[in-house]
Structure 1
Amino acid sequence: MPDNNQFSPVSLETMNCFKKHAPEIIEKTVQISMKRKEEVIQHGNQAQKLLILGMQFTTKMLESALITGEISLLEDELKWAKDRLPHDDVTMKHVLVRLKIYRTQIMKTLPEECAIEIVPFIDWMIEWQETHLKEELNE
């Protein structure tokens, strides 16, 4: 995994673009995630609301990391998710799948010049999640 010093804050234009399109990216990510019934059934009729809240939280944390270049903010979020979400029957694999869907929606929704600044942050999150999921499986 890259160390924290390899990330620079994104441009103001990219930040504004991401903020403008974030609701659409969240909506599409949730729509796709809701089709994965095996990952949301445990939430019952609250599933869509919980996914929206989770993606909004992820987006806010990502915005903070994009502005500052501080990957540690994302690492803290992922550590929290690893400890907390299993209590809600959300597995680390569910989180990984949602991050990948989120990444795809960022690539599809944002202009390329914006997406290429943001994707390294998401890729870092995905790689972190994959690494910790492998460690979890080997325990």
Structure 2
Amino acid sequence: MSNKESNSDNNDLLPISPEALASFQNNREFIINETLHRSLKVDQDVEHHGEKAHEIIKKGLEFTTKMLEAAMSVGEIALLEDELKWAKDRLPHDGVEMGHVLSRFKIYRNVVMETMPAEHGVEVAKYIDEMIKQLQYEL
């Protein structure tokens, strides 16, 4: 996909500062749990999962967090693009629509900005914004 390749070439970000990465790591569990809590309140995004909603969303947030942390550590947007490609191929088998993922990314971003010190949150948000932008482009 040539657009994807050009996005990787043009949108690589610098790795985030060690302080921002440490702040993200220190707040990781809260960010995941708060995003999960807020996501579960969006009935149209989760009701079709039934009793598995909590488990499905939590696993997705944990995976996203690991990939985000890796990408931010090295400044590699391609890692996030690969995650989104995998998500588009795999998640529909679990009944997860990309629109739901987009909604959760936006919630995740809000939680990051509310939780972390502003200067660190802004660094992390740049990466989340890239994920949101890429997913919006694909929808």
Q: TM-score, normalised by structure 2?
A: 0.91
For the pair 1:76 / 2:82, whether they are aligned, the reply is yes
Amino acid paired to 1:92? M
Structure 1 residue runs without a partner (length 5+): 134-139
Shift of 1:2: 7.1
Q: Which residue among 83, 89, 112 is the counterpart of 1:106?
A: 112
How many matched pairs? 133
Shift of 1:3: 3.9
Flag structure 2 segments of 5+ consecutive residues without an equivalent. 1-6
Q: Match for residue 138 of structure 2?
A: 132
Q: Is the 2:12–2:77 Cα contact (8 Å) retained in structure 1?
A: no
Q: Secondary structure at the match of 1:83?
A: helix
Mean CA deviation greater in 8-17 or 41-50? 41-50
Q: 1:23 aligns with which of 17, 22, 29?
A: 29
Structure 1 outlier segments of 4+, above 6 Å: none
User: Which of 35, 46, 63 in structure 1 is aligned with 2:52?
Assistant: 46
User: C-alpha distance in 1, partners of 2:77/2:99?
Assistant: 21
Q: Name the structure 2 match of 1:136.
A: none
State the SS of the aligned residue for 1:25: helix
Q: Percent identity?
A: 48
What secondary structure does 2:31 align onto? helix
Tell me, in whole angstroms, the C-alpha distance in 1 between the residues paired with 2:10 and 2:106.
21
TM-score normalised over the length of structure 1:
0.91
> Deviation digits for residues 57-108 of structure 1, max 9, x if unmatched?
0000000001000010000000111111111111110010000000000000
Of 20, 36, 41, which residue of structure 2 is paired with 1:35? Answer: 41
**What RMSD in Å do the two structures reach over aligned CA positions?**
1.3
SS in structure 1 of the partner of residue 137 of structure 2? helix
Q: Conserved in 2, the CA contact under 8 Å of 1:71 and 1:121?
A: yes
1:90 aligns to what SS in structure 2? coil
**1:42 to partner: Cα distance:** 2.3
